[in-house]
Amino acid sequence: MRIFTGIGYPRGCSLRIAPEPREAAGRLAITGNRCQRGTVYAQEEVRSPKRVVTATCAIAWSSIEGKDARKGRSLGAPRRFPVKPALPCPKERIPELPADRYRIRLRMPVKTGDTVIADWRGTGIRVVAVRSIGYLWQD
């Protein structure tokens, strides 16, 4: 029996999952859920766990209107930019996703929800910008 707290929904039920007897192969006995989302979350967690993993990518300041990176970036301007997958990533592939995002250099401006990676490694997972950022340099 596995016991854990549901994190995919607001209630956070304490879920208990046990495999059913052999005649019902592949089915799970789930208790402790207070709504249908708890059942769905528990089944996904056992069969194919997924997580949303945030990370950052570099900002390519030198690419903005031909500005030199040292002169073009204003004091206090961010050097990294937050991004996340639009869908949860399979847990076994989590180490690969941040590594790919760390190699990206974003060109400004970027709006919340803009696509940074269209189809990450053929999984159908789109990586998107978490916030908007524009031109931050001083002339």
The confidence score (pLDDT) of residue 21 equals 60
Asked if residue 87 lies in contact with residue 51, where contact means CB atoms within 8 angstroms, the answer is no
**Residue 37 — φ and ψ, nearest 5°?**
-60, -30
Range with the lowest mean pLDDT among 7-16, 69-78, 101-110? 69-78
The confidence score (pLDDT) of residue 29 equals 83
Domain ranges of the chain: 2-47, 51-129
Tens-digit pLDDT profile for residues 76-91: 567 888 999 999 999 9
What mean pLDDT value characterizes the chain? Answer: 78
CA distance 57 to 60: 10
Mean pLDDT calculated for residue range 52-75: 64
- The residues pairing with 89 across neighbouring beta strands, listed in sequence order, are 51
pLDDT of 70 strictly over 80: no
Residue 84 vs residues 7, 73, 88: alpha-carbon distances, Å: 18, 24, 9
Q: Kindly report the CATH number that applies to the domain delimited by 51-129.
A: 3.10.530.10
In the chain, the amino acid numbered 12 is: G
The confidence score (pLDDT) of residue 139 equals 34
Sheet holding 14-19, edge to edge: 2-5, 14-19, 28-31
CA distance 130 to 83: 5
> Closest Cα to residue 17, out of 5, 7, 25, 9?
5
Mean pLDDT calculated for residue range 101-111: 84
